[in-house]
A and B are shown apart, each in its own frame.
Chain A
Amino acid sequence: MFQLLEPNRIFSITSKAPKYVLLLFILVVSIGLTEALILSPEDYKQSHSVRIMYVHVPAAWISLGIFSTITILSIVGYIFKIKNFFLISKSLAPSGFVFNVIALVTGSIWGKPTWGTWWAWDARITSMLILALFYLMYLIAWRIYEDKEQVFKVTSIITILGIINVPIIKYSVDWWNTLHQPASINILSKSTIHSSMLVPLLIMTAAFALFSLLIFLMKYNTELIKIKNKGLDRL
């Protein structure tokens, strides 16, 4: 099965896919923006500031999802010696980091009108900041280490340590008294968010997921060409 993921086999797909993903992203984000900024209702308590949720929440979800994916790929890649999994992880990391920064900055902007402060050392915010630091360490490790075996080992350790923080982020609002409200969307139980807000939130999440797919494909293709450049040097 892993042979199907061989870079030589999938480059013909990954090199052509970005333009279609970009078009789909533009379409979905246009619908999402219309819903989020115009059609969705304001909140009875937070008024229009609730609209920040449509960029803040998807960004946070996707940065957490990408970090979890990177960790799984790194562990499996390290155990079964699948180099392509490391290449996929490396290509996912930039968008994960940017989504993490977006979640922090938009959270900070949302905090000002809602809590009266740009920043608080609250459990959720602090754990998200720690996640950004893990992303940064992961990206820096790829730049620092030349030796492949060493970089695979170091990045795997960083992701294993970083993944401990992911459940802390998720449950921080339940475990500690924080400024953040508890989760409004639950997979296992009934969500407390109204469908008029849930729909735009899901559309924006889909748009953000498409954008991270676009960046992943472009970065992955770049990494493959980098490898091919090294191959030409050896010819």
Chain B
Amino acid sequence: MISEIFYMDGYGIYVLGSFAFTFLSFMSLYLVIKNQYEREKNKFIVKFGNLNSERAASAKLQRINREILSNTSTI
């Protein structure tokens, strides 16, 4: 049964190759975008930490800044 699924009358290499390429592309894109997100977020946290208390308080008034700081990770 399992070998039939993989062999597929000789088409297995084409079919599974296509699915493998698709999911490897998905994985690569996901990791690249996640890496970009984490980098920007860390940059934001560092920059926010370098603000003096008055500026930090003013920046914290914006809801989006609070959201970025509160969400440690998207996924």
Contact = CB atoms under 8 A, between A and B. Distances in A.
Interface string B1-45: 000010011011011011101100110011011101100110110
B25 A15 contact: no
Contact of A8 (B15, B32, B58, B64): B64
For chain B, what secondary structure do more than half of its interface residues adopt (helix, strand, loop), or is it mixed? helix
Interface string A211-235: 1001101110110111011011101
A51 B7 CA distance: 13
A37 B59 contact: no
Interface in B34-75: 34, 36-37, 40-41, 43-44, 47-48, 51, 55, 58-59, 62-65, 67-68, 71, 74-75
Interface of B: 5, 8-9, 11-12, 14-15, 17-19, 21-22, 25-26, 29-30, 32-34, 36-37, 40-41, 43-44, 47-48, 51, 55, 58-59, 62-65, 67-68, 71, 74-75
Interface of A: 7-8, 11-12, 15-16, 18-19, 22, 33, 37-38, 42, 47-49, 51-52, 55-56, 59, 94-95, 98, 101-102, 105-106, 109-110, 112-113, 211, 214-215, 217-219, 221-222, 224-226, 228-229, 231-233, 235
